[in-house]
Structure 1
Amino acid sequence: MNFRKLLYPAVAAIGIVGLGTVAYFAQRAPQAPLEKTSSAAAVPGSSAHDKKARGVATTGKEVTVEVAKVIGMKLQDEINAAGAIQSNQSVMLRPEVAGRITRLNFSDGQTVQKGQVLIALDAAVNQAEVQQAQAELSIAKTNFKRNAELAQQKFIAERVKEESAVNVQVLEARLALAQARLSKFEIKAPFSGTVGIRTVSVGDYVKDGADLVNLEDISSVKVDFRVPEKFIDRIQKGQAIEILVDALPGKEFRAQVDAIDPQIDSAGRSALLRGRVANPAGKLKPGMFARVRLILDERENAMVIPEEAIVPIGNKNTVWKIVDARAQRIEVRTGLRRAAKVEITDGLRIGDTVVTAGQMRLKEDGAPVRIVQGGGQSGNGQQPSGGSPVAGNGGAMAVARK
């Protein structure tokens, strides 16, 4: 009895679920083809065939892009390198003999002239030796003169006269030696320049070879730098150099190649070059870090476009060129790259318009485009309806050669 009570409600529930399922799928079934045909027939001229017959264009949706003009500008083929500023002439003054300092004839950082006595050592003993040599030479010359007169009168042998002459020569050499030794006790400037900061004072006893003070000629300075060996054939003495120094921001110094080392560094595969820069104001100091730009070639009216306009395909470079509001893919040849610009050597002309943003949405040649300005503004100042355009004009790239 209980079993029958449970069986009837279960069968009823299963039936209800089945009917609901059939009704649900019946509502989701597609309409009959006959209805589609009838609907299409109800609106005359709505088919693609009718549009074509009436001359109506069937173009696709316009692609929103940003563009730029091909312009002409001056380009320089260059090499960038790091270097160091050096004095035109530099020397550390050192004594050749030991002695005590008696005079310092300069102040730290003073400009001195060539031949000026800078440091004097105690030379009392050597001065006495010079005076003694001078006295002995004077006596020898007097004896030689007297012996020459006596030999002429035949009072003495000719040999005595010759011995007197030899004695004079010996004493002249001795005097020259004493004077040379005396000169070592004065240290003179070998060239005009600026002295550094001395490390000694009056009264100090210094040994021969000890460092006293440096002397620098910075009326002009040298800059040494290295370039890769592959460029050595394109570099000649006298080529223009531009130098930037981190210690003097915003100031550019003009120079030229002064020397090229004939030996290539086998470890770094580079060549050493030396430039020379006029430095009348003395702003460039020895030891400063320098950024060197060596100009290899200049092109006065090179065609350039923004680098974001280039679309690489395999080993080829292409751009999308705008012609009559439609995009055409053009293969181009590129040259130098400078400051986010790319030189075009073949494929375009000055004044052509190329796409700089939105290339990924261009699928085929002849696609209609809608040109907007950078930042997503259309030509009439309105936001385009096809979604915000891709931002153009990315950051500047590094210089091609390092």
Structure 2
Amino acid sequence: MNKNILYIAIAVTVGLAAGWLIFGSSGNDANTNKDGANTTNSHNHSDKSENQMWTCSMHPQIMQSEAGDCPICGMDLIPAESSADGLAMNEIKMTENAMALANIQTTIVGNGTMLEDDGQISLSGKIATNEENNAVQASYFDGRIERLHVNYEGQKVNRGQSLATIYAPNLVAAQQELLTTASLKESQPALYKAVRNKLKNWKLSDSQIDAIESSGNVRDNFPVYATVSGTVSEVMAHEGDYVKQGQPILKVSNLNSVWAEFDAYENQISNLNVGQKIKVVTNAYANKEFNAMVSFIDPILNNATRTVTVRATLKNTDDLFKPGMFITGKIDGELKKDIEIISVPATAVMWTGERSLVYIKTRPTEPIFEMREVTIGNRNGEIYTITDGLKNGDEIVTNGTFTVDAAAQLQGKKSMMNQGDSGDSMKPISKMELPASEREMKFSENFQNQFKMALKPYLQMKDALVMSDAKQVSTFARTTSKSLKSIEIDSLEPMVRSLIKKSIESLDIMMENGDLEKQREQFVTVNKNLIPIATKMKSMQPVLYVQKCPMANNNNGALWLSIEKEIRNPYFGDDMLTCGSVIEEVK
């Protein structure tokens, strides 16, 4: 028993000694530096908390040292990334985790990784019906459709085929006249001939007229026959409908020839000409090329897509092409195969309608990117030729481009939606909006008085937008428009006349449109045209404040005028009442 107690005592003693050697000595080492001075090894977070900055996810220009609300929109501030130190103005840095989740991939262009280009312009398009071969089958007389023999799209019809049977009261009366004059054709041949001609004008044949005359019976229903052969592309009437003379019943398309319609971008137009040979390929016959010739190039550019329509006519006697079928056209371009060019996948390029953008990786070993504007040459399938903006060795994002762009937008950097202000955002509106020739112009006292009178209903209209009262907005828009129309503008500079006229056009739309969102869209244009003039006014009483909401107008920002310094947002009303800031005062 005594031996057991002794062994336990020895074990405890040894354990305490070992614990002191392990923990005690390490603690002393941690608290003593090489000079013997006593220090502490406790982890201090004070430096991190002191350096932590807070920003707004919607307004990244806001930077505060403490958490709180955004002074612009009132949203909760979030911690700003401290890892962005050392980045250029428009560079963004993404985490490795975000890169992996978004499957962001990059490719080095040029230097052997360059994709081959065969010098051809590639156009995408669809098969469409040949409008020159379309025909409308109409009713030749008033009546009710008793039977529609051709009643669905895609149905084949042949010339002379009965399309419909119509009850025609006018024809019943005309037949009675025919039977009456038939007995007088010897004594009054002119009258008899006139009645027959009337029936012929209603597309009755001589045989039909003779059958009525010989039988002596009046028919109630008459057939309408097809005048062309083709395929029904639209049914425009139904059984039981009352139709007028000349009213369409069917639309028939002759598909023996069809149109191949392609969309060509602005930078491709110079390489296209009427009469040019084009090779057409479709997924339905992937291994077969069809030769055609460009027959039409639309002289008007589509503002929405920034493209023009290029058309070629294809023979379709074998019924290979179906309207709506996707096709690709290839035209020989001006590029030569032996010229070194840079080609990139279509997934790398973002196209806004006016700009073509890519994201370039600025540091080889870090996930840091910056947007760059490029010029696109020809397109060959899913490959773009870049004629300007990239050089051999540049590393660009080829997959996940829109994810990188979204990150740039959230960080307030130059992006697809934000072109950057180039310093203009710091300039007064009076120096920004007008061209150099108009910036120093002066207005007559009479004009200034008239313009200031127009600002009174404008300010009431602005308050109505704040209150989201569409009816009041229409009322004050009418008054503002009337005030501007009363101003004598003939003696003003052309630019000023144009600004006032454009304002009136938008005000008239606001006046007629009761949709609040549509009114706010037009209010953007009103301010864009009125504010440059307002900033040139002298002796403004009371002071006018030019205010701006960066989130209005699809995050492009929008201005308005107010006599109150406090922000009351007319573009969002109660939803974001205090979102905005004063950018200029007109005293």
In the superposition, the TM-score normalised over structure 1's length comes to 0.43
In the superposition, the TM-score normalised over structure 2's length comes to 0.31
Larger Rg: 1
More strand, by proportion: 1
